Structure 1
């Protein structure tokens, strides 16, 4: 949340009053003529028939550098070609405003003190006598003849305001010590990325705490000591867990050395991990499905006291889940809740459902009753954030937002995207061609891994070994900058995945969404 402020930098402001002399016959007063060229306030008037909040837009007046601008841009596609400006001055004797219309070469000049209600065109060509991208020049003359030039820049978002848009999307080779891996699974474990790959006979582990720097990935061949089901690997606060090809459970503290875990019955599939707290978990559960004869049942490891596996719901999937993530961290309204999307049912059909788990004995529940998600398996599921903006107060509020990307519909891989800020209620589809839609070059894929990893803002020049996809360029004033909340930006890393033929995509993708790297607003 951030409150926008109008800031005025005052410079060389003075009023000199001469003394008053008196005698017995008359009084006289004398004053020096003011040389003050200060602009005291600047705002825009709302436009008839438009819902753009022009009058609520706050402007910074930098008197030192002669620059007036709105730090937080007006909404996307706002018309600034004919606006009335409300300007007050300290003691101006003349104010001349000049601008060039969008499709014209001639300069239009307005005497503002005489014609203050005239419309001005802020959409024209920038003046070339300044490094500011300002299209309007205002010359303020004080009573003593002093002059100061102010450049006025009315900024408009070049993308849908507060929407999401890929700022950059890059790809590189999947980190692996194997020449031709065929399977992969990547998880975040103890603040380190663990990328597991296999080729049917050998296994590789690549780790990194600085994933953007390709040369710093540590890649080595590992020998788990059993037939590792790479796709089953799950990350918990205490261990990494995985299944063998027979459903036996193993765990590892480092991803290299694995030990068998005693369980009553082999797992048919693993779903994910639930904990009662992110900070200091006392209850850690590995959730999965077992097959008891012909019956599929919910199970977990370790089992809480009194827990007994129970038959899954008829519409609960037995495989093909997305990764499971935390959608509610817990608090006054209950225990933390995790969730996954999609999967394959026992009868072989696919589901679009979102299932949540809250740690209770019957803790599974179907969510997202108003969902546009179509049936799929192997989708990517990750948390991010979006923003809403109240123009009347200047307050920007951050909201958790959840994304579902891709998967397979049983025939072809997908690269569609769905978002929500309330996964218990609804999911919206990102329309084709929107600013958030994945670029054409991004592959349709299923069973890819996705991890949101915070890093410092990194420039293109320092990302050696990455290939950049073409995305819309941001305006100069919306570029990344130092001064973010914690100096870190959440980058989205996507690993591997399968194409429609079941072949491994040997790529690692790295993306970031614009709003998280906007320059901070003064």
Structure 2
């Protein structure tokens, strides 16, 4: 409740002042000219959390620097002001009739929208002089988006002919996506992830077995041969690595300089051997070092690697398709598992667990990224994202907020996944590009006309519940999606990026 009749309060204040002066004429009573707010706070919000408010005296603004969580508007629509400290005088706001009314902090107020208040100094109140007041605007900042959620946006479409398996790589400001069409290798090139130009690849006839970007060129392996390209379109055999090169594995930064360690697999005398070579910033190779024979459990197809800081240096982690399949026992059944491997600059070692409580499901086309200081992994079918806080040793399902777009089939069925009603589950034809500067995760999808996945459905009839499995089917065009954690978006915006 706000106390109205400000003129009556002011008159009462003046009369009290006159009476006091007459009773004690020897004392001089000085009325304060200070019409500023010295402290402000709200009652606790949500789970007993207190948010600090900043008072900008110059601009006349009061606001919280740390935004409240999403949906906090259901809390601040009726909240108490805990602290509102002034030197003297009163604080007013406009009522529905536009009249000044005194704020009573014992009553709840609605702060879903900015609220204007006015501080009357005791001198201004005594004179009923509105020029001896100061106005403030109280703004409670609330996140419009959940900071812990992935925000997905449709960027555009790719070449509709990209209907088969694909591989993508970034070189400079361009992304190259390779795919086969009727036995011909093609590449779509884009600098903005929205418009694409497709050309026939020269020099390579088959989909690259592995693909990697250095500083100034692209490397690819196919049929145990190494190829190099400066434009991503024309490829030539390369002698940067001698011998039969089976696969390129990863790049590990060398902290003391701009060079990197490139690891790869070569075939020698019927055995698969691991090597590392030092590569300069100008893409010159040197110091090839043997890392020993490749372990039979090390993946050699559809490799994906990530790099993360460890101690004073860096470490690689790699995942891929296992041949033969690696399994773990869950509820008495053997299920496929993805086992990650780590490289510290000296040796590749198996680090992923096959424990039934910490394993990562097996994928034919897994992706691993280091994002927001955590490792994430997923694969074809796009059912869940897995996260590791133990450098790739143990995995668990990521929070449900950190997920792919999923259509609510219980509300309505779809036959086509669209930007307005997206569905990722069941998709298998894809590649991933990570933008570490702007913190985007780009997923590039090839066109699929017959996508399917299974979903558990619980139905209730009276007091009885039954659970069945239903198959969902749909199709989608070739398209590009970008995902970014809202918190990283906030951080970049606050940094002016």
TM-score (norm 2): 0.67
Q: What is the match of residue 440 of structure 2?
A: 491
Aligned residue pair count = 403
Change (3 A) 1:422 1:121: farther
Q: What is the match of residue 228 of structure 1?
A: 206
Answering whether residue 314 of structure 2 is matched by residue 336 of structure 1, we say: yes
The counterpart of 2:65, out of the listed 46, 56, 71, is 71
Q: Is the 8 A contact 1:357 1:365 kept in 2?
A: no
Alpha-carbon separation, structure 1, partners of 2:66 and 2:42? 14
Which one has a bigger Cα radius of gyration?
2
Q: How do 1:125-144 and structure 2 match up within 5 A?
A: 133-134=113-114, 136-143=115-122, 144=124
What displacement does 1:447 show? 5.8
Q: SS of 2:487's equivalent? A: helix
Change (3 A) 1:83 1:437: farther
Pick 1 or 2: higher relative contact order, CA cutoff 8 A, min separation 6. Answer: 1
Answering whether residue 220 of structure 2 is matched by residue 242 of structure 1, we say: yes
Q: What is the match of residue 514 of structure 1?
A: 486
TM-score (norm 1): 0.64
Answering whether residue 153 of structure 2 is matched by residue 169 of structure 1, we say: yes
Q: What is the match of residue 453 of structure 1?
A: 435
Q: SS of 1:515's equivalent? A: helix
Q: Is the 8 A contact 1:379 1:447 kept in 2?
A: no
Q: How do 1:300-379 and structure 2 match up within 5 A?
A: 307=290, 309-313=292-296, 315-321=297-303, 323-328=304-309, 332=312, 335-347=313-325, 350-360=336-346, 362-367=347-352, 371=358, 373-379=360-366
- Which structure 2 residue ranges, 5 or more long, are not aligned? 1-24, 278-284, 328-335, 408-421, 453-474
Change (3 A) 1:88 1:501: closer
Change (3 A) 1:254 1:443: same
The counterpart of 2:83, out of the listed 83, 86, 111, is 86
Deviation string, structure 1 residues 428-487 (Cα, Å, up to 9, x no partner) = 31354x364434314233462222226xxxxxxxxxxxxxxxxxxxxxxxxxxxxxxxxx
Which of the pair is proportionally richer in helix?
A: 2
What displacement does 1:241 show? 1.9
Change (3 A) 1:277 1:41: same
- Which structure 1 residue ranges, 5 or more long, are not aligned? 1-26, 127-132, 386-399, 455-487
Q: Is the 8 A contact 1:169 1:511 kept in 2?
A: yes
Alpha-carbon separation, structure 2, partners of 1:448 and 1:179? 13
Change (3 A) 1:449 1:282: same
Deviation string, structure 1 residues 188-227 (Cα, Å, up to 9, x no partner) = 224432222331443333434x41452xx55433312x42
Alpha-carbon separation, structure 2, partners of 1:426 and 1:96? 58
